[in-house]
Amino acid sequence: MTYELEILFGASLLYLLILFFIAYVTDSGLVPESWTSNSFVYILSLGVYATSWSYYGSVGFAEREGYLFLTVYLGVTIAFILSPLLLRPLLRLTRVYQLTSLADLLAFRYRSQLAGILVTLFMLIGSLPYIALQIRAITTSLSVLTREVPPQQLALGFCGMLILFAIMFGARNISAREKHRGLVAAIAFESLVKLAALLVVGLFSLFQVFSGPADLSNWLASHPEAIEALYAPMREGPWLSLIFLSFCAAFLLPRQFHMLFTENLSIRSIGTASWAFPLFLLLLNLSILPILWAGNHLNLEMDADYYVLGVTLVNSPKWLPVLAYVGGFSAASAMVIVTTLALSSMCMTHLLLPASYPDPLLNIYLWLLWGRRLLIAIIIMAGFGFYHLIQQNQGLVQLGLISFVAVAQFLPGVIGLLYWPQATRQGFLIGLLGGIGVWVYALLLPLLERSGFLQTGLSLPSLHHSLGMEQWRFATFWSLACNGLLFVGFSLITRQSSEERDAARACYSDVSLSSALRGVVAAGNTHQFTQGLAEIIGQDTAEQEVKQALEDLGMAADEIRPGELRRLREQIERNLSGLLGPQMAHIIINRQLVMDSEAKTALADSIRHIEEQLESSRTQLKGLNADMDTLRRFHRQILLDLPLGVCAVTPDHRVVVWNLAMEVLSGVPSRKVVGYQLSALSAPWGDLLAGFALAQDRHIPHMEVIIEHRPHWFNLHKATIPELQLGARNANSRTGLVMLLEDLTDLETLEAELVHSDRLASIGRLAAGVAHEIGNPITGIASLAQNLRDEKEPEIIEESIASILQQTKRISSIIGSLMNFSRSGTIGSDYQTFKLRQTIDEAISLVKLARSGKQVEYNVSCRKKLRLVGDRQRISQVLVNLLANACDASKPGDRIDIIAFQDDDYIQLELMDQGQGIPEHDQNAIFEPFFTTKKAGEGTGLGLSMAYKIIQEHQGRITIDSVPGTGTRVVVRLPQHRDQQEHEADIDN
Amino acid sequence: MPKTTEPGRQYDRTILLLLFMLFLFASPFTTWWAIDQRVWFLPYILWLLVILIAAWLHFRFRNHDL
């Protein structure tokens, strides 16, 4: 059976149009995003690993090397099993630092543009044979089906269509953050097609060429050499070398790196891929042996590499060879598209940009986009050129394995990146050059020699045999050994630069953040960021990049906090890294957004950033680090949940801790406070805390603060924190502060209520006396009124009226005193200047209302003009309580002396009674609440404790001096304010 | 003995699976099962076994894939 070339070309064209359609509808959003971000789409897209080598070449490989063909997939399985240790850390790095290729990753870690250039060049040289292999697989498959040599224009047309597709769906925009969903969907579809095609051909071989599994078993029983041919190379061939090579290829090949990391949408997908992708490869390989044996059974006269097509040409439906051809076409096209995209990105950032950086006046995005498109075309055409160079007699596997050994040279560098922070740039570069040297000598030169392109005169096969190794084992072992030894040796004898050390820490799985956060950005606001960047990348690009970074971090454009600006700088570097490559981005940022290395950076300045990073990388922590992190979280939780307001500040008074209690007290969330200067806080917190931070006192008790027109009371405490400089082992002289706010407002309210209750209790005790005092005048008034009814004498009437008015005045006076005394005063009411004598007299008249109060004599010695500043009602309460106690202790006829006088800056008030005195053992407890020596029902035990409290509030002192049997002397000393003295002097004058 | 963290256990299991796979495919045991050609699909069976264990590990620790 033969086919017309036009039919096959038409099928290829149709297939590519379907790919265009899938990519287009996905990119246009016509396909739900949940479908394209599904893990299985991602895993199918990883199927780009299986190229035409797998599709066609596996059968030929199995024919020549038996089960060695499985090594190409077993190594991949190992790499994916190791995803928690290998792929996930790499994915994290590529996502965090926006690294789009292996060259980016290695240039970032070893902080070397040369590393990027070398990796890119080597990757390019290593990949060209592979691209050539795909083109050759397509043209050869066409010649198998048409039995004629296809014209060169066909291969050129194929390349042209791939260029178009890669540009349209892989280089539509330049942003590294933009994932190419259409491309991923199309590549996933390609994987499905090649899997389906291979399975269909396998089933056809099993059930049509053979008559089913039983027939195949019979055939194998009669051909035991077929199974022996499978197993024999396992014992003798380069089994381990090939497993190792495919392990490296699984994530180091440009196309694999691109699909695994650059196009990854969800970090979860890589976990699913750890088993699902090897399963995909297993399914892909199920058909290989049935196809091989079917080809042998049919005695096909063709290279076993193309048995996949060959078996379908015998007694098959007409569509089957076309399907088999389309499967191979899909495997080849997917590889070329993804490899080219990955290589173009590497070439742009590591070859083209360092060689000719665009003028800042140009639109850098457009420049990069068109540069990348041009590179795509150049790379595919270079693959086409290489296809012309190589001899047709090179097996597919040979070409593929050359690329595998090439990318394996990056393994030492990647291992150093993940697990050896001491590895140096020099070690990496020299090791890589050594490995490349062996690769060129052992594989590339022989390939070119066999292709007739080069005559070296080297006798490589004899060298292999003299060392007892076949070619692949020789090339793998010596290139890696040379590379690894040079890498380790030179890393040990050379030193890292500080930049390299920082990058090494960032790459190492135990993240160290301190070094990256040292210093302060010289630019003080985002506008200065834009200005600095515009000089190199142009005004529009700079504005866009700053805006993007602000959006990424959720920052406002007016951000000025040094810690936040440092984060912004890092984010811009990461974003630029995705655009221009890590090294170029690093150079631009270092040059345009200079760090002020002189500025001292406290650990506390970066505390928020470090904590955020620790939270995001928590699942990576293990062992002691995980325990330390648990401890840190525990301590942090204690600080956050502390029922006291905690505010910690840096030496330059920037807030670093603002706990939950502080948020509740102030009503200000921590995100609006942390990083800002204390003085920038809203009223009253800015003044209160900034003032306290500067104050000499370490404790301020009972501070009144008006919040939303209501008084609040706080005890303030502070302590200094010796600050650790980042990177320094010892504390330096700069000190931060931690301030504690103890809210007393509830306690104050409670105390005010108690004071009021005490007053009411006093009134209760006076009630009987009050009734009597009011009752007497009322009786008098009633009698006078009765007499008035019959009285005619105007003089007597006038006299009676005067008496009534006098009695009424007396009642009003008693009621007035009671009302004044009992009203519920608000806490923190304004202090006023009042005459002390008047207050004493009022207190005496209140106490007199009680029966006991009447029977004692009061002797007051106080200047009438003596004034006091304070809460008159509360002072009156103190006097009532003290006088009531004195009366209770006195016998009828005793005298109570009340003396008040000025003593320097104090007013001293003394109350002396001649009562029974206080027993010595009770004297220490008399100011305690609810302590009383009176009988039950006669006293609440609050009187003296309230008096004590009120005098304390007035910053005064109260003492009691009592001798049992002789009497008690109470001394109250209250401060006299300066303005009060002046006021008094004025009055006296 | 201190309790191992969940990520730590995942790493331990991964290493154990790697060693198991190396034992199957890259040790003298490989030569042993390759000498006596039992059934032609034996390598596929062993490969499938490794994949199933990897899948079990993934579902066991998938909460740590975040």
CB-CB contact of A408 with A202 (8 Å): no
The pLDDT of residue A940 is 63
- Phi, psi of A617, deg, nearest 5: -105, 25
Give the tens place of pLDDT for each residue, A408-422.
999 999 999 988 989
Residue B2: per-residue pLDDT: 44
How many contacts, defined by CB atoms under 8 Å, are there between A and B? 104
pLDDT at A113: 87
- Distance from C-alpha of A795 to C-alpha of A813, rounded to nearest angstrom: 27
Q: Give the pLDDT of residue A782.
A: 82
Determine the residue type at A551.
Answer: E
Distance CA A270, CA A283 (A): 19
Which of A60-69, A302-311, A978-987 shows the lowest per-residue confidence on average (mean pLDDT)? A978-987
Q: Please check whether residue A876 is in contact with residue A763, taking contact to mean a CB–CB distance below 8 angstroms.
A: no
Higher-scoring residue by pLDDT: B8, B14: B14
Which of A73, A230, A275 is nearest residue B40 as measured by Cβ atoms? Answer: A230
Q: Is the pLDDT of residue A733 over 70?
A: no
Residue written as token pair 């039919």: A7
Question: What is the reported pLDDT for A813?
Answer: 73
pLDDT of residue B55: 93
pLDDT band at A429 (very low <50, low <70, confident <90, very high): very high
Residue pair A431/A390 in contact (Cβ under 8 Å)? The answer is: no
Average pLDDT, stretch A684-688?
85
Count CA atoms within 13 Å of residue A690 on its CB side: 15
The beta-carbon neighbor of A282 closest among B10, B35, B44 is B44
Query: Is pLDDT above 80 for A947?
Result: yes
Whether the pLDDT of residue A980 is over 60: the answer is: no
Question: Across chain A, what does the average pLDDT equal?
Answer: 82
> Do the chains contact at B31 and A234, CB–CB below 8 Å?
yes
Q: What is the mean pLDDT of residues A664-677?
A: 83
According to DSSP, the residues that pair with A718 across neighbouring strands are: A739
pLDDT digits (tens, 9 = 90+) for A561-583: 777 788 888 888 888 887 888 88
Compute the nearest-CA separation of B46 from chain A (Å).
11
Q: Is the pLDDT of residue A465 over 70?
A: no
Tell me the CA distances in angstroms from A222 to A63, A208, A227, A498, one per residue in order.
Answer: 18, 19, 11, 69
Cβ-proximal residues to A262 (8 Å cutoff; 6+ apart), any chain = A94, A100, A101, A176, A342, A345
Phi, psi of A867 (to 5 degrees): -115, 150
Which two tokens mark A93?
């790095």
pLDDT value of position B66: 45
Helix %, strand %, coil % for chain A, to 5?
Answer: 65, 10, 25
Rg of chain A over Cα atoms, rounded to whole angstroms, equals 47
User: DSSP code of A960?
Assistant: E
User: What average pLDDT does this structure show over B34-38?
Assistant: 70
Least confident of A128-137, A156-165, A720-729: A720-729
C-beta neighbour count of A377 within 10 angstroms: 18
- A795 vs A423, more confident: A423
Alpha carbon of A956: minimum distance to chain B alpha carbons (Å): 59
- C-alpha span between A424 and A110 (Å, rounded): 7
Beta-carbon contacts of residue A455 (< 8 Å; ≥ 6 apart): A449
pLDDT in tens, A181-217: 888 999 999 999 999 999 999 999 999 899 889 999 9
pLDDT at A452 over 80: no
CB-based contacts of A689, cutoff 8 Å, min separation 6: A647, A649, A678, A681, A739
Please identify among residues 591-620 of chain A the ones whose CB lies closer than 8 Å to any CB of chain B. 619-620
A91 chain-B contacts, CB cut-off 8 A: none
* Residue pointed to by tokens 């180091």: A252
How many distinct helices (H) and strands (E) make up chain B?
3, 0
pLDDT exceeds 60 at position A828:
no
Whether the upstream peptide bond of residue A150 has omega within 30° of 0, thus cis, is no
For B8, which of A235, A276, A622 is closest by C-beta distance?
Answer: A622
Where does residue A854 fall: left (phi above 0), alpha (psi -120 to 50 degrees), or beta otherwise?
Answer: alpha
Average pLDDT score over residue span A495-500: 86
3-state secondary structure of A395: coil
State the pLDDT at residue A340.
93
Cβ of A77 within 8 Å of Cβ of B2? The answer is no
Ramachandran assignment for A759, one of left (phi > 0), alpha (psi -120 to 50 degrees), beta (any other): alpha
Predicted confidence (pLDDT) at residue A512 exceeds the cutoff of 80:
no
Give the DSSP H or E segment for A414.
helix A411-419
Interface test with B, best of A231, A288, A629 (most B CBs within 10 A): A231
Tell me what pLDDT residue A278 has: 96
The DSSP bridge partners found for residue A857 are A895
Q: Which residues pair with A961 in a beta bridge?
A: A969
Question: Is A466's pLDDT higher than 60?
Answer: no
CA distance, residue A347 to nearest chain B CA (Å): 32
Separation CA A180–CA A566 (nearest Å): 31
> Residues of chain A with pLDDT > 70: what percent?
86
Chain A residues touching B25 at Cβ < 8 A = 74, 243
The predicted complex's ipTM stands at 0.91
Domains in chain A with CATH codes: 5-408 (1.20.1730.10), 411-517 (no CATH), 518-599 (no CATH), 613-742 (3.30.450.20), 749-988 (3.30.565.10)
Where b means 16+ CB within 10 Å and e means fewer, A772-783 reads ebbeebeeebee
Roughly how many angstroms between the first and final C-alpha of chain B, as a whole number? 28
A890-932 tens-digit pLDDT: 888 888 999 998 887 888 999 998 888 888 777 777 777 667 7
User: Could you tell me if A591 and A114 are in contact, meaning their C-beta atoms sit under 8 angstroms apart?
Assistant: no
Q: Give the alpha-carbon dihedral of A56, A58, A63, A68, to 10 degrees.
A: 170
Q: What is the DSSP letter of A718?
A: E
The closest of A31, A48, A220 to A134, measured between CA atoms, is A48
Instruction: Locate the chain A residue with the closest alpha carbon to B59.
Output: A272
Nearest to A309 by CA among A196, A141, A133, A60: A141
Residue A861 pairs in a beta bridge with A899
Q: How far is CA A48 from CA A5, A21, B51, in A?
A: 26, 19, 20
Nearest by CB: A278 against B22, B40, B54: B54
| Residue-range domain boundaries for chain B | 37-66
A725: its two tokens: 């400089």
For position A604, what pLDDT does the model report? 57
| Secondary structure of A485-505 in HEC code, one letter for each residue | HHHHHHHHHCCCCHHHHHHHH
CB-based contacts of A634, cutoff 8 Å, min separation 6: none
CA angle A246, A488, A500 (to 5 degrees): 100
Mean pLDDT to the nearest integer, A123-143: 85
Is A355 within 8 Å of A40 (Cβ atoms)? no
The pLDDT of residue B49 is 94
User: If pLDDT is split at 50, 70 and 90, which confidence band does B46 have?
Assistant: very high
Q: Which residues pair with A896 in a beta bridge?
A: A858
Q: Are A903 and A962 in contact (CB under 8 A)?
A: no
Strand partners for A654:
A677
Interface of A with B in 185-204 (CB under 8 A): none
Mean pLDDT of A943-963: 83
Q: What is the mean pLDDT of residues A547-566?
A: 82
Rounded to an integer, what is the distance from CA B46 to the centroid of its chain? 10
**Higher-confidence position of A71 and A616:** A71
The pLDDT value given to residue A408: 92
Q: Which residue has the tokens 């040079």?
A: A486
Model confidence at A253, pLDDT cuts 50, 70, 90, reads very high
User: pLDDT, tens digit, for every residue of A864-873?
Assistant: 888 888 888 7
Q: Can you spell out the DSSP letters for A871-927?
A: -HHHHHHHHHHHHHHHHHHSPTT-EEEEEEEEETTEEEEEEE--S----HHHHTTTT
Q: Which helix (H) or strand (E) holds A219?
A: helix A213-222
pLDDT for the residue A734: 63
What does the pLDDT average to over A777-781? Answer: 79
Predicted confidence at residue A728, as pLDDT, reads 47
Other residues' Cβ atoms within 10 Å of the Cβ of residue A519: 19
Whether A88 sits inside 8 A of B65 (CB atoms) is yes
Alpha-carbon gap: A558 to the closest alpha carbon of chain B (Å): 33
Q: For residue B54, what is the nearest residue in chain A, using CA coordinates?
A: A275
Residue A392 has pLDDT above 60, yes or no: no
The confidence band for B54, taking pLDDT boundaries of 50, 70 and 90, is: very high
Residue A988 has pLDDT above 80, yes or no: no
Give the pLDDT confidence score for residue A445 in this predicted structure: 82
If you average pLDDT over residues A346-366, what whole number do you get? 82
Radius of gyration of chain B (CA): 15
Collect all residues with Cβ–Cβ distance below 8 Å to A299 and sequence separation of at least 6: none
3-state DSSP helix/strand/coil percent for chain B, to nearest 5?
75, 0, 25
Instruction: State the average pLDDT over residues A366-380.
Output: 90
Kindly tell me if the per-residue pLDDT of A289 is higher than 70.
yes
Tell me the Ramachandran region of residue A518: left when phi exceeds 0, alpha when psi lies from -120 to 50, beta otherwise: beta
Q: What is the pLDDT of residue A731?
A: 47
Quick one: pLDDT at residue A460? 57
Question: In this predicted structure, what is the pLDDT of residue A727?
Answer: 46
Contacts of A623 in chain B (CB under 8 A): 5, 8
> Mean pLDDT over residues A609-632, rounded?
73
A736 to A331, A427, A603, A650: CA distances (angstroms) = 63, 43, 10, 4
CB-closest option in B25, B50, B58 to A272: B58
A234 contacts chain B (CB < 8 A):
yes
pLDDT band at A517 (very low <50, low <70, confident <90, very high): low
pLDDT, position A937: 57
Alpha-carbon gap, residue A673 to A658, rounded angstroms: 7
Q: How confident is the model at residue A726 (pLDDT cuts 50, 70, 90)?
A: very low
Four-point Cα dihedral A33, A35, A38, A42, nearest 10: -90
Q: What local confidence, expressed as pLDDT, does residue A188 receive?
A: 94
